[in-house]
Amino acid sequence: MSTQQRENIALITGANAGIGLELTRKLLAEDWQVVALNRSGFPADDENIQKAIKNGWLRIYKTTDLADFPSLRGTLEEIKGKEQRIDILFNNAGGSFPELSYSTQGREKHYELMTVVPYIILMELKDSLQKGRLKTVINTSSSALKFTKEFTIEILERPTTFRKLLGPYATSKLALSLWTQAAAPQLANEGIMIRSVDPGSNNTLRKGKNSGLPLIVKPLMKLFFSPPTHGADQLYEGALGEHRGETGVFLRKGQVADLKFKDQARNVLERINDIYENEYLRC
């Protein structure tokens, strides 16, 4: 099958593992083209994935670190130069880190990777989205955001304490959903729909990788959490399901859910837009 027969094109960040990999598999099985923005490659023993790469249905763009602005910019420029359009952007890359760490730019790493970078990717690929058919952005959020007790820009960028999963990870996911909500009206004026989606509890443990999860969570994840296909289904439904006509909403278990600290949404959006304009575009 040629790429011309595969009419829809999705760009997925973090497409080579976990939920992103299962979403890639699902979309390829449904005759989509997938543009992958990753740090590393796909499983070499996956015949369907390798066939898709060979046939050009799956196109891979690598960056050494999504949270490193010069590296990210080079990769995004390559994508803009080679890809004619994007129908759906899945801002999916992320993860929980085992300790407090900072990006090359000096901000807390969860926040940089999962709050700031998705906005940069959206802004850089907005023209490609406007040329697409579906003009949709799905930001992968998390139900962990409900555990956030304090929320300010200062806490996001340079936290004074660290808790695995329920600390910077949770606040960064909340910030992502908040700017999604705040940015939605202007994006709608430009023809783009945006939603944030909780993919649910998925077992995304990877052998040999320090996941940054609390010790008690790991055995529970193995026993009770869903496989990553569940999360992929949630993102897929968030993009193409019953709420496809809504924008700015946070979807949890397929339903619109409320967000905490909504009064901070505009502050988050203004801050990350400032980072985009005054740091990223000048790097």
For 154-203, write each residue's pLDDT tens digit. Answer: 999 999 999 998 999 999 999 999 999 999 999 999 999 999 999 998 66
Amino acid present at 230: H
Q: How many domains does the chain have?
A: 1
Whole-number pLDDT of residue 9: 98
Does the structure show a pLDDT above 80 at 2? no
- In the chain, how many H helices and how many E strands? 11, 8
Amino acid present at 93: A
Does the structure show a pLDDT above 50 at 281? yes
CA dist., res. 140 & res. 118, Å (int): 10
Residue pair 73/280 in contact by the 8 Å Cβ criterion:
yes
Read off the CATH number of the domain in which 239 is found.
3.40.50.720
- Which are the contacts of 76, defined by CB distance < 8 A and separation ≥ 6? 120, 121, 124, 125
Q: Is 87 part of a structural domain of the chain?
A: yes
Q: Is 4 part of a structural domain of the chain?
A: no
**1 band by pLDDT with thresholds 50, 70 and 90:** very low
CA dist., res. 257 & res. 127, Å (int): 30
Q: Is 237 part of a structural domain of the chain?
A: yes
pTM: 0.93
Report strand pairing: 250-252 vs 255-257.
antiparallel
More confident residue, 207 or 29: 29
User: Residue 58's domain spans which residues?
Assistant: 9-282
Of 99-108, 157-166, 214-223, 232-241, which range is least confident? Answer: 214-223
Rounded to 5 degrees, what are φ and ψ at 186?
Answer: -65, -40
Q: Is 217 part of a structural domain of the chain?
A: yes
Reduced to 3 states (helix: H, G, I; strand: E, B; else coil), residue 78 is helix
Does the structure show a pLDDT above 90 at 222? no
Q: Is 128 part of a structural domain of the chain?
A: yes
pLDDT in tens, 228-257: 999 999 999 999 999 999 999 999 999 999
Q: Is 274 part of a structural domain of the chain?
A: yes
In this prediction, residues 104-123 reach a mean pLDDT of 98
In this prediction, residues 85-97 reach a mean pLDDT of 95
Q: Label residue 237 exposed, middle or buried (CB < 10 Å: 0-12, 13-18, 19+).
A: middle
User: Six-digit token pair at 21?
Assistant: 């990999």
Q: Is 166 part of a structural domain of the chain?
A: yes
Write b or e for each residue in 22-56: b if 16 or more Cβ atoms lie within 10 A of its Cβ, otherwise e: bbbbbbbeeebbbbbbbeeebeeeeeebeebbeee
Residue pair 184/250 in contact by the 8 Å Cβ criterion:
no
Q: Is 105 part of a structural domain of the chain?
A: yes
Rounded to the nearest integer, the mean pLDDT of the chain is 93
Whole-number pLDDT of residue 227: 83
pLDDT in tens, 49-76: 999 999 999 999 999 999 999 999 999 9
Does the structure show a pLDDT above 90 at 95? no
- Which are the contacts of 138, defined by CB distance < 8 A and separation ≥ 6? 88, 89, 90, 91, 92, 194, 195, 196, 197, 235, 238, 239
Does the structure show a pLDDT above 60 at 208? no
